[in-house]
Homo-oligomer: A and B are copies of this chain.
Amino acid sequence: MTALRAFEAAARLGGFAAAATELGVTPGAVTAHVKALEDRLGAALFERTAKGVRLTALGARVLPDFTAAFDALGLAVHHLRAEAAPQVVHIATLPAIAQLWLSPRLPGLRAQMPEVAISITAMEAPPNLKRAPYDLSLFYGDHGQQVARDHIFPVCAPALAARITTAEDLHHLPCLIDSAWSRDWASWAAVALPGQDFTPRGPVFSLYALAVEEAANGAGVLMAHGALVAGHLARGTLMAPLPQRVALPQALRLWSARPLRPGQPAERVARALQAGTGDQIP
């Protein structure tokens, strides 16, 4: 049973490592499961090459059946959870979005629909909504309904901002770097400092929200996502000393596994988030 899940995930995602991530186990476990399955069948499901695995003809023939079956199972789990707690809306999103964009909007949502509970699960990558039982998924991406068109630009504490007048000033200041969005600095520099070789120097953070706090504490200049620092900018705890803003290639988008029926809690939450409820941060 677990072996079947491992096979299906590995076949669909094209690798044992990716399957292990989706299943929340280590690649070694996937290896063992697939091998056990192949042993019991007496036939190979994957061809092992040095740079990964490739499905055999047999594996490709039976994959659609398994994918369909596990999709049906995922849907059943979703249905079960929805029936068991009809007034709970489960949202999956990035940790940074959860803390910096969603969290400030929650009081407004609660006031607007007090009977609905909102459960937020932070994760690094968008979940497969056919499998994981979330009602809404909020990520930078290409699918779904656009919630915000986001821009990046440098921000820092007011005291530091006073020392910045041109983009060139950044060469000599500590630049806070988020490990997941490390390319943001390069994207912005390509527009604001064309032709120059800009290499940001400064501490690296694995939590974007922590980098934002450090920027507010005056630790350096952060390449901000506009949507995620709106609160700090409004409060004046962060400032944007330079005018150059670069649009992110992917907008902040919200999507759901299935079409939402109007009036359903998940649909009401989705509508409220798209309408910008609570955008006026205190």
Contacts and interface: CB of A to CB of B under 8 A. Distances in A.
Interface string A212-243: 00000000000000000000000000000000
A83 B69 contact: no
Given A58-B83, A72-B65, A72-B68, A77 B41 contact: no
A25 B77 CA distance: 23
11 contacts: A1-B2, A4-B76, A41-B84, A41-B85, A42-B84, A65-B72, A65-B80, A68-B72, A68-B76, A69-B69, A69-B72
A66 B77 CA distance: 8
A61 B42 contact: no
A101 interface: no
A13 interface: no
- Which A-B residue pairs are the 8 nearest by beta carbons? A65-B76, A69-B72, A69-B73, A43-B84, A41-B84, A62-B80, A66-B76, A69-B76
Contacts of A83: 58, 61-62
Contacts of A5: 1
A79 interface: yes
B75 A65 contact: yes
Contacts of A61: 83
B85 A42 contact: yes
A70 interface: yes
A81 interface: yes
Task: For chain A, give the interface size range.
Answer: 20 to 34
Interface in A36-58: 41-43, 58
Nearest to A81: B41
A150 B280 CA distance: 83
Interface string A1-17: 11011000000000000
Interface string A73-110: 10111011101110000000000000000000000000
Nearest to A38: B84
A116 B2 CA distance: 30
Contact of A41 (B62, B68, B75, B80): B80
Contacts of A58: 83-84
A4 B73 contact: yes
